Structure 1
Amino acid sequence: MARAKYKKRSDGRYLVQIQTGFDENGKQKFKNIYAKTIPELEKKINTFKYNLDRGIVVDDQNLTFKEWANNWLDTYKTNVTTRTRKRYKSIIDIQLKPLHNIKLSKLKTVNIQKTINELTTSVSLTIKILKQIIKQAMINELIFKDLMLGVSFSTQEPKKRRQLNEQEREAIEKADFSAKERTFVYLCLYAGLRRGEALALKRNDIDFKNGILHISNTVIYNDNNTPELKGTTKTLAGVRDIPITNKLESVLKEYIKTNVKGMFLFSSRNHTLVTKTSYQNMWKQIIRKMNSVSKIPINEITAHHLRHTYATDLFYAGVDIKTCQYLLGHSSIKTTLDIYTHLDSDPANVAKKIDEYYISNQSNISQ
């Protein structure tokens, strides 16, 4: 009788050991590979050997969480932007530091829970990254159960972004902005552009003849100050054409005519993209000038508050939800709906709208 090629365990799985190298004492090191069937086992063996030849596989017996997390980032996150990669790396190095020296094979749910309990910033992103790291470790058979299943997360809802109030909108109209400042504010407030989309605008993105802004680029800051022009916006849905309102048109035309010398609407003295520091200084000036004409203190306003206000204006103007989604560049309609669900929750307002619809509809029937 031919000897079985692979050993079958009492739990029904097949097992094979593959040598991965030698330890510091010259002793051979092995990797255990398991599968329920021989074809599945042989597929895993081939994949393992392929990765081993390329240095992707590491010794999982002494592999620490930090080593695996960095391996995960280098191997499975090669398609993310430089900015996103740096953000992930920061989360691993700082937020997940309490887990660094724990061997992956010894990692427990309680270790993860204690780490999450101590988080004060970037909680959602940290949890998202942890889930991906643990899931990939399971796929690679470095751990054999989902350690995130027993972890409890805070149910506290994130703060909802708000639109500008009446005093803040009045301050924008009264403030003694420079042409550059007012143009930037109006692009966010009356076209709903994201900060990076506004900073990336070029002369040829503006079509006054057809009354359209062509949005297809964004500016990101990969380090503390240096700008980078990306060929796509935040999402693929961000590539869009936005109508130029009357409120925006006159400001845009005057600004381009008298202030724009190079390719970009907003640029440094040598006509290159503005640095992060330059943008921050401009925004501080915008807030300072708003405060100089406001009856109430204005502090916690960002460019995104202007964009959010544009979104709510679309709603109150009666623009349908799918058009709103397109104009805002949301890849998911849920994002658009999340903005709108709280806007008209007053029963009296809802009843008024329904009554107005019934009256209008009845008039059409009678005619």
Structure 2
Amino acid sequence: MASLKKRKDGRYAKQITIGIKDGKPVKKTVYGKTLKQLEENYMNLKRQLEQGINLDLNIATLRELMEEWYKIDVEPNIRENTRRKYIYSFTSIYNELGCFKVNDIKMYHIEHAIYEFRKTGNEAARFKLIILNRFFNYCVDHDIIMKNPCKRMSIPRNKPEKRKLEKVELEKIENAELPIYDKVFLFLLRYTGARVSEINALCKSDINFKDMYIDINKTVSTKVDTHPFIQQFPKTEAGKRKVPILIPLYKVLYEYVSGLKNDNDLLFTIGDNKPLYPANQSKRLKNILKKCGIDCTDITPHSFRHNFISECYYAGIDIKTVQSWVGHSDIKTTLDIYTHLSESDLLNGSQMNDFYNGSQTEVKRDFRVV
């Protein structure tokens, strides 16, 4: 049985035999700031031993140890889309750092790797740095290294400028002569605020014309190198919701859904009731918008989501209701969309002036030159 000790620095420690070398047992010391943390680290190490994972950490390369970390600590706790992002990111990480021993990696190695990562874009580079930071924190927590070599590093987020759809563009969408298949897709984006992956997961049974709502309860996802599939739950718990069928959407949606034979028929498919590829949706939208006569270089499916939220603001819809309709887990995400409203909209005080005039209250402002 492993002996338990309390070190001078206040941490608890105990040893575990991880192998035999030259006829003698090879031991590793496990640490923890509390007895509970010590036991968790100890059991995690035992689990790795039982699974045959290499624990000779003095010669372990980043690739060897990162693969073990991912298998034990990451993969069981992430969803399929996030898993794909990890798998794709590992290729670049291994190319730059995979052959280094973990103990030998210094800050300048990370800086050089980030320089290479950024050649394919800041957002992809940011995610790779997030992976490295989590991995090295894991190594620190398990006393594999003393400190995280990328702890103070960051990559600024490139937030694309968002804009609402212009009035003339919305009019073109309303008046365009489109095939019903394209028009329903465009109107669902326009009048529900739903994510494109949620729209592509809708089937006939999700459309309730009696009570006038759309039941959003799943999403389209893909595994690495496989066809897309229906994931039987949305992006987040808040993503499971009911969205009202608004009047401009009703007629075209009813006409289209009435033509579907079975309740489990998807609204949009590539044949044999198979969902569309999520990666192709921006291209699909651009083709539809071109038919409407709209220059769509800076319009994405997500632009319609932002536009819907902005229109809810103009209509005076309660912010909690808007949050519910669009499936945001955090109301701050919904509020952040409002920051993209134009300055003229934000400075428009007509509603408050109408209120004050209605209550016969005189509003006075004291203008002073400072």
TM-score w.r.t. length of structure 2: 0.82
Whether the 8 Å contact between 1:232 and 1:239 is mirrored in structure 2 is: yes
Instruction: Indicate whether 1:84 and 2:82 are aligned.
Output: yes
Q: Deviations over 1:134-180 (max 9, x none)?
A: 221122221222333332x2345412433222343233223332111
C-alpha contact (below 8 Å) 1:138/1:145 kept by paired residues: yes
Structure-to-structure mapping, 1:231-250, within 5 angstroms: 231-250=232-251
Q: What's the counterpart of residue 201 of structure 1?
A: 202
1:358 aligned partner: 356
Separation (CA, whole Å) in 2 of partners of 1:208 and 1:40? 54
Question: Alignment partner of 2:258: what SS?
Answer: helix
1:286 & 1:18 partners in 2: Cα distance? 58
Offset of 1:311 from its aligned partner?
Answer: 1.4
Tell me the alpha carbon deviations over residues 225-252 of structure 1, each in whole angstroms, 9 at most, x when there is no partner.
Answer: 6121111111110111111111000011
**Further displaced range: 211-220 or 86-95:** 86-95
Structure 1 unaligned spans of 5+:
none
* Contact in 2 for aligned 1:214/1:240 (Cα 8 Å): yes
Assess, with a 3 A threshold, how the Cα gap between structure 1 residues 302 and 223 changes in structure 2: closer, same or farther.
farther
For 1:8 and 1:348, locate their aligned partners in 2 and report how far apart those are by CA, in whole Å: 60
Q: CA deviation at 1:352?
A: 3.5
Say if 2:125 and 2:155, in contact at 8 Å, map to a contact too: no
**Cα distance in 1 for residues equivalent to 2:34 and 2:196:** 54
Which of 84, 91, 95 is 1:97 aligned to?
95
**Aligned residue type for 1:287:** K
Task: Classify the secondary structure of the residue corresponding to 2:77.
Answer: coil
2:110 aligned to which of 109, 112, 118: 112
Residue 137 (structure 1) aligns with? 139
Report 1:228-307 matches (<5 A). Answer: 228-258=229-259, 263-270=265-272, 272-276=273-277, 280=280, 284=283, 286-294=285-293, 297-307=295-305
Deviations 1:234-286 (A, max 9, x none): 1110111111111000011111223556622223432x123329x83x86565
Distance 1:96 1:360 in 2: 67
The letter for the 2-side match of 1:299 is T
| Residues 155-164 or 73-82, more deviating | 155-164
- Residue of structure 2 in register with 1:128 after alignment: 130
- Change in 2 beyond 3 A, CA 1:326/1:160: farther
Distance across 2 between alignment mates of 1:342 and 1:224: 37
Partner of 1:227: 228
Compared CA separation, residues 330 and 34, structure 1 to 2 (3 A): closer
- The match for 1:63 is 60
For this pair of structures, how many residues does the alignment match? 353
CA pair 117-356 structure 1, distance change in 2 beyond 3 A: farther
- What residue number does 1:175 align with? 176
Q: Is the 1:185–1:306 Cα contact (8 Å) retained in structure 2? A: no
**Identity score, percent:** 31
- Judge conservation of contact 1:237–1:326 (CA < 8 Å) in 2: yes
Distance 1:233-1:9 versus aligned 2 partners, 3 A rule: closer
Give 1:182-197 correspondences, 5 Å limit.
182-197=183-198
**Structure 1, 41-50 or 333-342: larger mean CA deviation:** 41-50
Contact 2:80 2:221 in 1 (8 A): no
Three-state SS of the structure 2 residue aligned to 1:331 is: coil
C-alpha contact (below 8 Å) 1:199/1:266 kept by paired residues: yes
Give RMSD over aligned pairs: 3.2
Structure 1 pair 41–178 and aligned structure 2 pair: CA distance change class (3 A): closer
Deviates more, 1:341-350 or 1:99-108: 341-350
List per-residue Cα deviations over 1:77-131 (Å, max 9, x = no partner): 2132233212102112224531111211122222223222332231232222222
Where 1:119 maps in the other structure, the secondary structure is helix
Q: Is the 8 A contact 1:21 1:30 kept in 2?
A: yes
Q: Is the CA contact (8 Å cut-off) linking 1:171 and 1:291 kept in structure 2?
A: no
Letter in structure 2 aligned against 1:336 = T
